Structure 1
Amino acid sequence: MGACLGHSRGSDSCLQASNAPLFFHPYIKGSQVIMDESCHTVSRRGSFHDGIVFSGRPIELYEKVTVKIIEEDRKWQGGLRVGFTWKDPCLQSGELPPFVCPDLVSQGKTCACVLPDEYTEEDTILSFWVDNQGCVFCSTNLEAEGSFLFNGVSVESPLWAVVDIYGRTKTIQLLDSTCLELQVGAEESPAEDCMVCFGSKANTMMFPCCHSGFCSHCSLKILTTSGRCPLCRQKVKKILLISILAERDGLPDWLEKSESIHSLW
């Protein structure tokens, strides 16, 4: 299961290094959750509840957790709920409750809220994070400034992100921070050496996982041999040139219209 291979149902803790790739926990999830092999895309199978998922590792203070709303089911009302818990998800006993709010929150060690309707439209990219005072903020579509959501998060213990795929929200995708940092700062950041050959400049990105740090020669070699990203083991569908991405107006555009962008393969 790629990056999820390090997990097991019987592990005592979900603690991992904060610089590890971020993905959803493959085992601790609501009864209606369907998760893809990479643990980045999750859907709710039916009904409007039982869609709770957790991050696969603890989240650092000020680290942005970013998801894209892929699909809606308009026969339901309400939308995504997000928050943080300072109870290790691996220590959850029995089935998860149907709702983050109020069920999981009322059990203690979790703070979360219902997002406004305008934050939960299909194709919206939503980021949320917690500061060193336990206040949670969110922004949409990669805006730098965030709006206050709620406070009360304990910052004395490790924190895991929690998301409730509720109501009208049907499918979400967790976006990798490497991809987002590249999109925001690609024009300002000097090129680094390829992490495979160390002889050429890194100028490509794996799609859809968005991991970068490879030259075009090594990227094509990876694509035609293992076909999987060396960092997260997700299947690579396309190799994108960073120089091309830096000229685009925004991340949603190239994520949705990747077929129209110049690619190496």
Structure 2
Amino acid sequence: MGSFFSTLLGDVTQVSYVPLVFHPDTKGSQIVLDVSQYIATRAATFHDGIVFSNRPIKVNEKVTVEILKEDDRWIGGLRLGFTSKHPSLMDSSDLPPYACPNLVKQGKCWASILPDEYVGEGTVVSFWVNSKGSVFFSVNYESGSYLLLEGVPVRKPLWAVIDIYGRTTAIQLLDPSRPKRHMYESSQKLFDVAGQNESACRNCYEENSIGKECAVCLCHKANTVMLPCCHANFCFCCSTRILYSSSHCPLCRQKVEKILRVSAWAGRGIPANWLGEVKDSSPPP
């Protein structure tokens, strides 16, 4: 076991070290966490991707993330910062779509935009707050650092805030107590399209299910296919939750390897896309 020393009011009480992961409950509506809770993927759109740390961050403790996936259809990237409000006291449904400026304007949150040159796929970004309340960041473990923002009150407990925004669609939280994973489930399950072809995609969707109500939430339209069982009774949000929770189709209990998002036009001969549709047609602000 490691140690965690609280920096609040000079307290140096030693307690058990708590591994740094993403907060499991409070997160943006488009965020999906893997089982380990240190890989976060934004399922769709360019916003609603706010995540928090599971525990307070010490002064000068580095929060390090690797950008695993990006989508060049959008612009902009990560927003980084801290909040003095315990994430467990927040309601996910009340989270705004953006950390900057929306969450910052709500108070008790300090965040800023990471420059575009540092949001590329494979980049490792570390950020931390010093004893004077200044937030710095560095990239790819380089010794140099850059000022991100100032004025953070460090005499209060602070949780990390990360907005997986714009081009950035998936990140991995790197904890020094845990070995880095070079491959991860969300990449394999959500983005791997190897071996699939247009004909197989069209044969897979069920014409009698696509477009009807989702069998789970009964609110949204069914627009995904479970593979390999090919049941198509679920909306994208519910399919994603199933993939990351039980990983078994609710209808036949067969293990789900991938989910295929099917366009409403698939039946007319236009190929379905692997998570290729987005509801937003306008670029991010």
Q: Residues 145-186 of structure 1: CA distance to partner in whole angstroms, max 9, x if unpaired?
A: 31111101111110000000000001000011235xxxxxxx
Q: Residues 199-246 of structure 1: CA distance to partner in whole angstroms, max 9, x if unpaired?
A: xxxxxxx5639xxxxxxxxxxxxxxxxxxxxxxxxxxxxxxxxxxxxx
State the partner residue of 2:247: none
Q: Please point out which of 37, 46, 49 is paired with 2:47.
A: 49
Task: Write the distance in 2 (CA, Å) between the matches of 1:64 and 1:155.
Answer: 14
Indicate yes or no: 2:206 matched with 1:208.
Answer: no
Contact 2:125 2:140 in 1 (8 A): yes
Task: Write the distance in 1 (CA, Å) between the matches of 2:82 and 2:145.
Answer: 17
State the partner residue of 1:240: none
Distance 1:52 1:132, change over 3 A: same
SS of the residue 2:177 aligns to: helix
State the partner residue of 1:67: 65
Distance 1:117 1:18, change over 3 A: farther
Task: Write the distance in 1 (CA, Å) between the matches of 2:16 and 2:122.
Answer: 28
Q: Which has the larger radius of gyration?
A: 2
State, as a whole percentage, how many aligned pairs show the same letter.
54
State the partner residue of 1:80: 78
State the partner residue of 1:97: 96
Q: CA deviation at 1:91?
A: 1.3
SS of the residue 1:167 aligns to: coil
Distance 1:24 1:18, change over 3 A: farther
Q: Residues 53-85 of structure 1: CA distance to partner in whole angstroms, max 9, x if unpaired?
A: 000000000000000000001101111100000
State the partner residue of 1:21: 19
State the partner residue of 2:142: 143
Map of 1:1-265 to 2, 5 A cutoff? 19-93=17-91, 94-178=93-177, 208=181
Q: Residues 81-110 of structure 1: CA distance to partner in whole angstroms, max 9, x if unpaired?
A: 000001111111442110000010001111
Q: TM-score under structure 2 normalisation?
A: 0.57
Distance 1:171 1:165, change over 3 A: same
Total equivalences in the alignment: 168
SS of the residue 2:107 aligns to: coil
Task: Write the distance in 1 (CA, Å) between the matches of 2:157 and 2:102.
Answer: 21
SS of the residue 1:42 aligns to: strand
User: Where has structure 1 moved over 6 Å in runs of 4 or more?
Assistant: none
Q: TM-score under structure 1 normalisation?
A: 0.61
Contact 1:18 1:57 in 2 (8 A): no
Distance 1:18 1:141, change over 3 A: farther
Contact 2:174 2:180 in 1 (8 A): no
State the partner residue of 1:256: none
Where does structure 2 lack aligned partners over 5 or more consecutive residues?
A: 1-14, 183-285
Which amino acid in 1 is paired with 2:53?
A: S
Where does structure 1 lack aligned partners over 5 or more consecutive residues?
A: 1-16, 180-205, 210-265
SS of the residue 1:178 aligns to: coil
Task: Write the distance in 2 (CA, Å) between the matches of 1:118 and 1:19.
Answer: 34
Q: Residues 96-149 of structure 1: CA distance to partner in whole angstroms, max 9, x if unpaired?
A: 110000010001111000110111011000000000111000000011331111
Which amino acid in 2 is paired with 1:89?
A: P
